[in-house]
């Protein structure tokens, strides 16, 4: 979105006001530019850029979680959480399936219940360059004898006042490990 004055008299000043929507933006440093087209003799096309660093209170990387069968036979995944909170704690991690399919021998009502996952949060020693903290979150879960991939939502309950629940889309991938 951008507001601007359409005509500026000689010697006068006008304004061009670009607006960047932050609700859809991801964390990190980025630039948003606009191209100004005018009848100016010196610069018929001018680029105006706004640069900023957006600090997200709590973000996961990657944002899409894929749990795969590990060596122990249980499903597991590890990903990074970046936060401004130096004493982040996880209260609970659940997986709520959105698939219609059920696990073997599982009643339909059971598959609609969220699965509780075991979790292990490890803090990295040093803060990142912009003063945030990185944590490794490892999830492990025994979700029964799945025959097909299970898509759904991982809900990470935290002690962060701004993000009590971090919701992440993902899946439990039942495809076998490639044989060596």
Partner 1 sequence: MRKTLATLSVMAMLLVVPAACKTGPMISVDSEEVNLGTIKQGSKPSAKYVFKVKNTGDSVLVIRDVRPG
Residues that bind partner 1 (CB under 8 A): 1-2, 4-23, 25, 27, 31-43, 46-57, 84, 130, 162
* Least distance between partner 1 and beta carbon 50 (Å): 5
Q: What's the min distance (Å) between Cβ of 57 and partner 1?
A: 6
Q: How far is the CB of 5 from partner 1 (least distance, A)?
A: 7
Distance CA 129, CA 124 (A): 13
In the complex with partner 1, which residue's Cβ is closer, 31 or 100?
Answer: 31
| Beta carbon of residue 105, minimum distance to partner 1 (angstroms, whole number) | 44
Quote the Cα angle for 44-47-48, to 5°.
130
Closest CA relative to residue 96, chosen from 168, 175, 174: 168
168 vs 174, which CB is nearer to partner 1? 168
Tokens read off for 36:
């100004």
Q: Is 46 or 118 the residue whose CB approaches partner 1 more closely?
A: 46
Q: Are 43 and 60 in contact (CB under 8 A)?
A: no
CB 153 → partner 1: shortest distance, Å? Answer: 21
Distance (Å, rounded) from C-alpha 60 to C-alpha 173? 19
User: Is the Cβ of residue 33 or residue 89 nearer to partner 1 in the bound state?
Assistant: 33
| Closer to partner 1 by Cβ: residue 7 or 175 | 7
d(CA 95, CA 171): 9
- Dig out the tokens for 113 from the structure: 């219940």
Task: Tell the burial category of 68 from Cβ atoms under 10 Å away from its Cβ (0-12, 13-18, 19+).
Answer: middle
């Amino acid at each position: 979105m951008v507001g601007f004055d359409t005509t500026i008299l000689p010697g006068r000043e006008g304004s061009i006001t670009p607006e960047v929507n932050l609700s859809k933006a991801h964390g990190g440093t980025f630039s948003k530019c606009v191209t100004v087209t005018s009848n100016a003799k010196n610069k018929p096309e001018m680029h105006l850029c706004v640069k900023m660093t957006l600090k997200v209170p709590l973000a996961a990387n990657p944002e899409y979680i894929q749990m795969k069968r590990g060596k122990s036979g249980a499903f597991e995944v590890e990903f990074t959480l970046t936060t401004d909170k130096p004493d982040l704690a996880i209260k609970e991690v659940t997986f709520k399936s959105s698939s219609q399919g059920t696990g073997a021998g599982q009643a339909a009502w059971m598959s609609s219940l969220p699965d509780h996952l075991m979790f292990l949060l490890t803090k990295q020693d040093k803060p990142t360059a912009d003063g945030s903290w990185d944590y490794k979150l490892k999830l492990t879960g025994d979700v029964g004898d799945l025959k097909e991939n299970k898509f759904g939502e991982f809900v990470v309950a935290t002690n962060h006042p701004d993000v009590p629940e971090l919701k992440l889309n993902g899946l439990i991938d039942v495809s076998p490990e490639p044989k060596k």
